[in-house]
Structure 1
Amino acid sequence: MLSDLMLRMLNPVTDDMFDTMMTEPYANNPFLMMTIMEKMTMRAIAEAGMRAQTGQALSRPIGSPLRSSPWEKLLLNPRQLFELPTEDEHKIEMKVTIGPRAKKPLIIDIPIMITGMSYGGSLSLTMKEALAKGASKANTATNTGESAVSREERDAAKFLIGQYNRGGWLNDPQQLKKLDAIEVQLGQGAWGGAVASTMDSSKMDDHLRELWKVKPGETTGKKARFPKVNTPQDIISLVNSLKEKYDVPVGIKIAGTHFMEKELEIIAQTKADFITIDGQEGGTAASAPTLEDDLGLPTLFTIARTVDWLKKQGLRDRFTIIGAGGLRTPGEFLKALALGADAVYIGSIALIATMQSQMTKALPQSPAPQLALYDGKFKEEFDPEEGSQHLANFLKSCSAEMVMALQAMGKSSVRQLGREDLVSIDQGLAKALHVGYVGEAKTSEGFMPLAAR
């Protein structure tokens, strides 16, 4: 009865709206808003309103919604007859070594690691603990991000990579000696490279102020450059100095750029053990939309061009390559490895897996990241133990699917992946990546029966 009454009340209203939409000239027709939204996009309209409200640069969590890496145009090649699938999937090796030439190389069970997401600058302490515990349960590494080494994260992490950062929060020997690898953070995909940012102590709690050594009333932040690093030679000297002082692997992280090869020329002159390359689709807790959407190089091409240049220079074996930037699925991880990366970092998708069903604690009144961010409204309601188990499950699930694909491809180790295992449905992409094209035969050799071989 109530529903019938509601329909009777709404019917004349909807009739009037429909009549207006179908008869009024466009300039006076509410439907015009639909064409405006189609032309401008809802995101551009919303961001225009935010800019008009504050007059300040926007700060958008998670990273760019744009996806420029055409992972879906690449397929992996199974083997069935001329080469057989791997007989025993349990014997497929997934271990990866980061910095095999270091005195203390980092060995992880799966080629998937948790990327740098900082405590304080990005995430809450409980979320960092959950990420560390989840990674540890899967016997892989997590990364401090641009922050200091907290006791909580160090205790929770079996393997901890620390970012030597432009804020200086982790750059003293007391902290560096606690790490399993050191990553010199020179740029980030979602930040368009290296950009300065500040944080007022009033937005920090006592724990973070003590960890970052910031006094009440002070302002801290990161610079676009490291202090006293003003030339490429200064960067080389910085990396080599760290390498001489510490036995763990030392690496460099940079954002993807069309100047990739010029950047690699500098890295090649260092004694670094690994290179982390972060594509344009990478995530962040907060960055300007222009930096996220309009600067950088897509992850797929960042990985491919890095590997190609190193091979051309005869330097590929010197460096472990870690690919990062918007990678989401086991299939994308495998494709990144087939392009030449040794391991991958994941961030945004790891957060989604860690929050899993707990996202309902924030939704629908607030977006789910409010559960994870340092200043998140619902961070106190997040259960890190539950989150860590969900992350561990996600990592184990991804690894299991990757093993299945490797079995179909006839591999006994993830390290055997190469570009011969890829084919593209796009001819231009196939040419750029030096992989097969689906419209062309794999080989032009004539048929020869097995008995005649």
Structure 2
Amino acid sequence: MLLNWMMMKLMDPAMDETTVKLLTEDYPDNPFLMATVVEKLSPRALIEAAMRAEAGKELSRPLGSPIVLSPWDKILLNPRQLFKLPSLDYTKVNTETIIGPKAKRPLKLEMPIMITGMSYGGSLSLPMKMALAKGASTAGTATNTGESAVTDEERDSANLLIGQYHRGGQLSGQEQLSRLDAIEIQLGQGAWGGAVDEPIRGEHIGDHLRKAWHLDKGQDATVYARMPGKSSTQDYIKMVNNMKSQYDVPVGVKIAGSDYIEYELAVIAQTQADYIVVDGSEGGTAAANPTLQDNVGLPTFHTLVRTVDWLTNNNLRDHFNVIVAGGMTTPGHFLKALALGADAVYIGSIALMAAMHTQVVKVLPQAPPSQLALYTGRMTDKLDINKAAGHLAKFLTSCIVEMQLAVQAVGKNALKELNREDLVTVDRDLAQFAGLRYAASHREAPNMNIARHPQPTVQNMLQ
């Protein structure tokens, strides 16, 4: 009690002086000026300005942009209750998904949720890559190498492994490509604003990674804006078709969302690819700078709708599976993406959070959870791989059960039966853009020849 009294007596003069200054001084000498500065510039802009002033080079911000422009919360699913009954048993709602059904070896999944491309070395540590692979396998789905090579550790941990044939060249050649369950030709990424150079300094590449990437000690690595050796659109078309002719597994093309999305699709349509991955600007990454993350590209929702619409309008929807990626985090997001026309979704940042789960206490509050997961993290050795895999599998299982219940409510029997008729929006512009029902417009009820009972009267009641 005495100590508290002494502390209060010491603080009183300082508080009195600060209060007087706040209430009497003009803005240039008033401490409250910082409150207006923060309100005007935003805390994020101030902190990033300080980081730039300190470093004098581009920033590297993990996990993607905080700016989310996809209007998922303005769209709802439509339940049926009487005119059409809910499905009888939610546990019987089919969740199976096939990517590349026309390929000699289609990719068969137990759910339409997959782990997106997050590379060993460029993004994540090897223990985290192993955890993601094991968790995805337990749940019956696939994981993705990202812009890296196929390692024995990830391959042995994954029942189904999609590999990215990418602009850095680390995953190429028969020895690597023949180990995959699907090949994804990576030509762009949402969080990187499409395709730009991504240099990785040799001093940041450890012995194990250097061996996987076939680099000399101290040698730099670069993911280029273009595929090396490709100088025209026709070069890319030939590359996709050559890949398709050599391998039995599904071959896909990944691009970032852009207002030129129809132009990009018109090129892919000239290939024999099995699937298309469209990655919205809200996607995550380990290292892209804030300018590319926040200011370049097209939101995931708009990218998906325009992709599906263009394929449909050109009678190509049955030629390609569509996988969408970029900032989706909840079963509701996944359901709405499927109803809009996606065959499957990729998740990244939310999968990492689910995998780390309670293990974040190993690094908090001294360091952010990213230090458990990133390749450059200082505490990656603290990650329990099996626990992380188990929590990821539980997360995926939980998502699927909730999705099955929602599909039961709308009266369908399979996730792949969802379509835009199962959606309604409270936004008129969204309704027009995506071809959805506008919630503020009335439906005409069907003529059901309803036999109405006469309304009770006082006389009838007395009788």
**TM (normalized to structure 1)?**
0.98
State the SS of the aligned residue for 2:163. strand
Query: 2:448 is aligned with what amino acid?
Result: M
Query: 1:143 is aligned with what amino acid?
Result: N
The answer for the alignment partner of 1:381 in structure 2 is 382
The answer for the alignment partner of 2:102 in structure 1 is 101
The answer for the alignment partner of 2:289 in structure 1 is 288
The answer for the alignment partner of 1:158 in structure 2 is 159
The answer for the alignment partner of 1:301 in structure 2 is 302
The answer for the alignment partner of 2:326 in structure 1 is 325
Alignment partners' CA distance in 2, 1:14 and 1:317: 70
Alignment partners' CA distance in 2, 1:380 and 1:216: 23
Query: 1:426 is aligned with what amino acid?
Result: D
Alignment partners' CA distance in 1, 2:285 and 2:388: 19
Alignment partners' CA distance in 2, 1:214 and 1:436: 55
Alignment partners' CA distance in 2, 1:19 and 1:423: 55
Alignment partners' CA distance in 1, 2:84 and 2:191: 42
State the SS of the aligned residue for 2:358. helix
RMSD over equivalenced CA pairs, Å: 1.2
Question: What do residues 293-327 of structure 1 show as CA deviations (whole Å, max 9, x unaligned)?
Answer: 00000000100000000000000011110010000
The answer for the alignment partner of 1:431 in structure 2 is 432
Alignment partners' CA distance in 2, 1:137 and 1:7: 58
Which range is displaced more, 40-49 or 299-308?
Answer: 40-49
State the SS of the aligned residue for 2:303. helix
Query: 2:383 is aligned with what amino acid?
Result: F
State the Cα distance separating 1:257 from its structure 2 match. 0.2
Alignment partners' CA distance in 1, 2:248 and 2:400: 29
Alignment partners' CA distance in 2, 1:19 and 1:80: 64
The answer for the alignment partner of 2:182 in structure 1 is 181
Alignment partners' CA distance in 2, 1:7 and 1:178: 69
After TM superposition, which residue ranges in structure 1, 4 or more long, deviate above 4 angstroms?
A: none
Alignment partners' CA distance in 1, 2:336 and 2:14: 53
Which range is displaced more, 171-180 or 196-205?
Answer: 196-205
**TM (normalized to structure 2)?**
0.96
Query: 2:444 is aligned with what amino acid?
Result: S
Alignment partners' CA distance in 1, 2:433 and 2:411: 26
Query: 1:243 is aligned with what amino acid?
Result: K
State the SS of the aligned residue for 1:322. strand
Alignment partners' CA distance in 2, 1:377 and 1:9: 41
Question: What do residues 366-405 of structure 1 show as CA deviations (whole Å, max 9, x unaligned)?
Answer: 1110110001011111111110101001000111110110
State the Cα distance separating 1:445 from its structure 2 match. 5.2
Alignment partners' CA distance in 1, 2:77 and 2:182: 32
Query: 1:128 is aligned with what amino acid?
Result: K
Kindly indicate whether residue 448 of structure 2 is the aligned counterpart of residue 448 of structure 1.
Answer: yes
1:339-378, aligned counterparts within 5 Å?
A: 339-378=340-379
Q: Using a 3 Å threshold, how does the CA distance of structure 1 residues 293 and 339 change in structure 2: closer, same or farther?
A: same
Query: 1:421 is aligned with what amino acid?
Result: D
State the Cα distance separating 1:446 from its structure 2 match. 5.5
Q: Percent same amino acid among aligned pairs?
A: 55
Question: What do residues 314-342 of structure 1 show as CA deviations (whole Å, max 9, x unaligned)?
Answer: 00011110010000000000001111000
The answer for the alignment partner of 1:111 in structure 2 is 112
Q: Using a 3 Å threshold, how does the CA distance of structure 1 residues 172 and 446 change in structure 2: closer, same or farther?
A: closer
The answer for the alignment partner of 1:253 in structure 2 is 254
The answer for the alignment partner of 1:146 in structure 2 is 147
Q: Which structure has the larger Rg?
A: 2
The answer for the alignment partner of 1:420 in structure 2 is 421
Runs of 5+ in structure 2 lacking a partner?
A: 453-463
Alignment partners' CA distance in 1, 2:6 and 2:400: 55
The answer for the alignment partner of 1:48 in structure 2 is 49
Question: What do residues 170-206 of structure 1 show as CA deviations (whole Å, max 9, x unaligned)?
Answer: 1111010000000000000000000111112221111
The answer for the alignment partner of 2:221 in structure 1 is 220
